Structure 1
Amino acid sequence: MAAARHTAARTLPSLLRTLSKSTIKPANQPLPSLRRAFSLYDQINLIDNVPEDQLRFQGYTDTGFTVNGVKYEGSLLCIGNLLMSWGPKKFSEITADSLSILQVIRPTPEILILGCGRHIEHVNPELRNFIRSIGMKLEAIDSRNAASTYNILNEEGRIVAAALLPSGITS
């Protein structure tokens, strides 16, 4: 054991000299930036990079909505990437008749997002049963959040419908 220590002590200085001579000197190059390292993530922007044929709510006012850079006044009905002007001017005018087009759309959207205007409204059982009879779920929320929810679900590629009153509408 003592012989091993003596050998190690004798070779240590020469080992240190060898390592100090072969130490890699830092190059005068800057380190790669984190921005470059994460550039793939910088290029992915789910809000702005939307296919031209995909509807995207970009804004709302008390009287309408901005969709794909175009301002629309009044209520809107969106099914997938189809946008239509919609008749109801207030929440009480939303009926099974005003949503009857949903019966013939194929494939049937999995959910109807109902934008109630400025505030969430209670959906009457008759309308709720009508939507359920088509095979759809119903989510009734204020129009601002309804537009955002539509964007997210549509962006995911899900088949979704939205019936939106302008956000200035109150009950």
Structure 2
Amino acid sequence: MASIFRPAAGCLRASLEQLPASRTILRQPNPRLCRHLHATTKAMASRRGPVGPPKTKDRGPASKEDTQTDFAAMNVLGNTPAPTTAIDACAHDGFALNSGLKIAGSGVMLVGGDAFNWKPWIREGRKEGTIGEGAMGDDDKGVSSVGGTLRNKKGQWEVAEHSWGLLDAVWPKPDLLILGTGPSIVPVSPETRKHISDLGIRLEVADTRNAASQFNLLATERGVQQVAAALIPIGWKEGTQ
């Protein structure tokens, strides 16, 4: 009778816990830790397009077509006549207008297609031609000595309200007033700005040369009824009498 061999329970448990030394455990790679290597060669990359700037700027022979763009013909205001009150020249003590009118010894206010002598430096209570604070004299200095006071103690451009009497009376009022403050641009005082704003007029400030250029352009484009100008001569000298 054959005998049946039964291993002890301890030996069976030990044999189940032991793993072969040559056994290898395979793991799936983590896609986040993978490195992607591009195998594209330089020759293949060069086929996609130029790597650097072009070697030449030659665009071929000049075009002989008659359809080339004439930028001078694109000026939409080229056939629009300039207003008669357009400023042709800014003189030392006055202005020359497109109508042939010349103004000397005075500023100019251009409103509604008309030109007016404008001397805001003459203060209230003084007569034109007298020597005094903010006036031009008619003695040995002559009217060519353009000078006076147009700035307040803070250095801001400020004139009396009666200097804008023409704008108070005119109707309809212009939409925009271009103010030329003389040879250089000067900040306008809040009081003067408020007075012009209360008239329903917007204010644009520049030196007289640039103000004249802006008036010529805007008056041609929008009309003299919409745009007005008040210009001080470019020879203005602050504080001289």
Give TM-score scaled by structure 1 length: 0.68
> Aligned ranges for residues 81-120 of structure 1 at < 5 Å?
81-89=113-121, 90=148, 91-92=150-151, 94-120=159-185
Q: 1:47 to 1:119 in 2, by over 3 A?
A: farther
Residues 115, 165 of structure 1: 8 Å contact kept: yes
* Equivalent residue for 2:107, pick from 75, 85, 92: 75
Q: How many angstroms does 1:107 deviate by? A: 1.4
Name 1:162's counterpart in structure 2.
229
* Distance in 2 between residues matched to 1:55 and 1:125, nearest whole Å: 29
Q: 1:48 to 1:120 in 2, by over 3 A?
A: farther
Structure 2, unpaired ranges of 5+: 1-63, 122-147, 152-157
> Aligned ranges for residues 133-144 of structure 1 at < 5 Å?
133-144=198-209
* Distance in 2 between residues matched to 1:129 and 1:39, nearest whole Å: 43
Q: 1:47 to 1:166 in 2, by over 3 A?
A: farther
Which letter maps to 1:86? W
User: Are 2:92 and 1:62 equivalent residues in the alignment?
Assistant: yes
Q: How many angstroms does 1:155 deviate by? A: 0.6
Residues 117, 167 of structure 1: 8 Å contact kept: yes
Name 2:10's counterpart in structure 1.
none
Runs of 4+ in 1 over 6 A off after TM superposition: none
Q: 1:45 to 1:65 in 2, by over 3 A?
A: farther
Relative contact order, higher structure (CA 8 A, sep 6+): 1
* Equivalent residue for 2:81, pick from 35, 46, 50: 50
* Distance in 1 between residues matched to 2:93 and 2:206, nearest whole Å: 17
SS in 2 for 1:108: coil
The CA deviation string for residues 135-169 of structure 1, in whole angstroms up to 9 with x for no partner, is 01111211111111111110112411111110111
SS in 2 for 1:139: strand
Q: 1:122 to 1:102 in 2, by over 3 A?
A: same
Q: Which protein is bigger by CA-based radius of gyration?
A: 2
- The alignment-based identity, stated in percent, is 32
Structure 1, unpaired ranges of 5+: 1-30
Q: 1:39 to 1:148 in 2, by over 3 A?
A: closer
Q: How many residues align?
A: 138
